[in-house]
C-alpha cells in the first residue's frame, strides 16, 4: 500500500457490532475486510451511554481515551480499569465481557484490534514538540490532538496517515499528540 492521508470527515459513523454505540473505522487490513476477517482494524468509538463493549473472540484490543472524562471498564465482572487518562493505551482480550460506566458524560476513544496469533501490535503516544521518525512496523499515524507535518501532508486532529513513507519524519507542534500504531507478525 502506498501512503495515504485519511481525513476525519471521510470516516462516517457506523454502528458497533452489538448495535449499542458508534464507531468510525479509520483503516482495516486487508483492505475491505469485514469484522470476521480483518487481521487488524483501527477505529475511533463514540461512547455516550453505559453500553457494554462488543465481544471479539480471538482478538487483542488496545484502547486509549481521546476526549471526555472517560469511563470505568469492568472486565468479566472482576477486573476494573478506569480509562480516564487521555492518550494512555490499555490492552485487553476481545472476548472479555466489558461493562462500562461513564465517569462524567460522553467520550471518544481510539481503538486497535489485532487478530490473535496472526498479528501483534501496540499504540505509542508521542506528545513532545519535535521531530519523530516512525519505525518500519508503523502502519498508521493518527493525529489525536493538534497538527503534525510530514512529507506526505499535514495531519489535523482526527486525521491519519496510512502506511507512512519509508524514512518519513513528523514534526509535532506544541500540544500535538500523535498515536503511532505498530503491527507485526507474531514472534518478531
pLDDT of residue 31: 92
In a 3-state reduction of DSSP, which class is residue 157? Answer: coil
Smallest CA-to-CA distance from 141 within 160, 167, 115, 125 is with 160
Q: What is the rounded distance in angstroms from the CA atom of residue 131 to the CA atom of residue 24? A: 28
Tell me the sheet residues that pair with 107. Answer: 47
Q: What is the rounded distance in angstroms from the CA atom of residue 102 to the CA atom of residue 141? A: 28
Q: Spell out the residues 6+ positions from residue 68 whose beta carbon is closer than 8 angstroms to its own.
A: 47, 103, 104, 105, 106, 107, 108
pLDDT of residue 85: 96
| pTM for the predicted model, two decimal places | 0.93
Q: Which domains does the chain have, with CATH numbers?
A: 11-115 (2.60.120.10), 120-184 (2.60.120.10)
pLDDT of residue 15: 85
pLDDT of residue 188: 64
Q: Residue ranges of the chain with pLDDT lower than 50? A: none
In a 3-state reduction of DSSP, which class is residue 123? Answer: strand
* Greatest C-alpha distance within the chain: 47
pLDDT of residue 121: 97
Is residue 161 within 8 A of residue 126, CB to CB? The reply is: no
Amino acid at each position: 500500500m502506498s501512503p495515504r492521508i485519511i481525513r476525519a470527515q471521510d470516516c462516517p459513523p457506523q454502528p458497533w457490532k452489538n448495535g449499542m454505540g458508534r464507531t468510525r473505522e479509520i483503516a482495516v487490513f486487508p483492505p475491505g475486510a469485514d469484522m470476521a476477517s480483518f487481521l487488524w482494524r483501527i477505529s475511533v468509538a463514540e461512547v455516550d451511554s453505559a453500553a457494554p463493549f462488543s465481544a471479539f473472540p480471538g482478538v487483542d484490543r488496545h484502547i486509549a481515551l481521546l476526549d471526555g472524562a472517560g469511563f470505568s471498564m469492568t472486565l468479566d465482572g472482576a477486573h476494573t480499569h478506569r480509562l480516564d487518562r487521555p492518550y494512555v493505551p490499555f490492552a485487553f482480550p476481545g472476548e472479555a465481557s466489558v461493562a462500562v460506566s461513564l465517569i462524567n458524560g460522553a467520550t471518544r476513544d481510539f481503538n486497535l484490534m489485532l487478530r490473535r496469533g496472526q498479528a501483534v501490535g501496540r499504540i505509542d503516544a508521542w506528545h513532545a514538540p519535535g521531530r519523530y521518525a516512525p519505525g518500519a512496523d508503523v502502519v498508521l499515524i493518527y493525529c489525536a490532538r493538534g497538527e503534525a507535518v510530514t512529507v506526505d501532508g499535514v495531519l489535523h486532529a482526527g486525521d491519519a496517515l496510512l502506511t507512512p513513507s519509508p524514512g518519513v519524519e513528523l514534526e509535532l507542534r506544541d500540544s500535538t499528540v500523535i498515536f503511532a500504531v505498530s503491527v507485526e507478525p507474531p514472534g518478531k
